Chains A and B, each alone.
Chain A
Amino acid sequence: MAEEHEHEHEPLPEGVPPVSRRGILFNLGLGMNVIAASLIGIPIIGYVLSAVFKEKAQQAWIPLGRIDQFPEGQTRLATYTNPFRRPWDGFVADIPCWVRHIENDNFQIFAINCAHLGCPVRWFPQSGLFMCPCHGGVYYEDGSRASGPPPRGLYEYEYRIRNGHLEVRGGETPNLSESV
């Protein structure tokens, strides 16, 4: 009744939609809830997406062992610890890779993951081949593709040598979108 009373005193100009207290309250409530929902939602989205924003910058140099653990001319399996290891990760944090010591300070460090679909490739020193048990990708000793479905050679990690220790720049499982 109060609204009708007001209308009597101040008739609305043409073309202006009627404004009621209920209407304002409804829109105000809606707007306040949108703001409140954003206050709750944005941090939640950030929380879930935080895994994406952790960028390569965080990739650390991770020790693989002394150089003399990798005899010249041989390719050996090594594991490095995931630099983002959490206390409950257990052995899943031990990431394997193949270390090929060519000569002197010359190494190649291959990701264990087949470039096709990520299965673990196995090294066969007798024939000098890496073979994948999933879809039959085969690579030569230098990591180049020999046969099978992989679209490229094995992924190589960057490495460096510090005080007689081999260090690998790991921290990210390579896939076709971006090589290490």
Chain B
Amino acid sequence: MDKTTIRILIADDHPIFRDGLRGLLEAEPGFRVIGEAADGGEAVKLARQLKPEILLLDLNMPRVPGLEALAELAKAPTPVRTIVLTAAIERAQIVEALQLGARGIVMKESATEALLKSIRSVMAGQYWVGRESVSDLVATLRDLLTPAGEEARKKTFGLTPRELEIISVIVAGYTNKDIAQKFSISEQTVKHHLTNIFDKLGVSNRLELALFAVNHHLFEEAA
């Protein structure tokens, strides 16, 4: 066998899927499937025996699930490069899989080309998450671990509830005087809020603010 051939082990509990995947991989120059496992336990055993360069590991398998197999494989001094190949995965499972040493996460619905690219990227020392190669795993994990509240903060660009209210009435066509009356504040305070809003959003005038707000549905955040 050519030294450049990538030796692959497939672990999935569906034989038809394994057959199909083997056919796809072996149709590609430089790939060879050296074994198949039907559950996590078998995957661990075969990975130790056959020492593949890549393990394609399903998460949802009977007896020993994929994440347990991954944890077991991580104990080896030189763990096999594992790409989780799954039909469904939650954000927390992606994090766990990466923390357990997975080098890639690929959805089964992905195009074949994405799977081939992920294998090549992982062989080149990169990580693969979703649809792209990842060079900074720490940043990826940080993004994945970003709590929902932080997401919401990003969505509202750090605007305060009062600033969001002001944006909403600007989109409705209120003048500064109207806004001051509506919220029982001075026009000077309205101007102060607007200055802060412009700074936070990087907009230059009222029209751009309104367009930005409509484009990002900011008035819905204020409701």
Whether A associates with B in a native complex is no
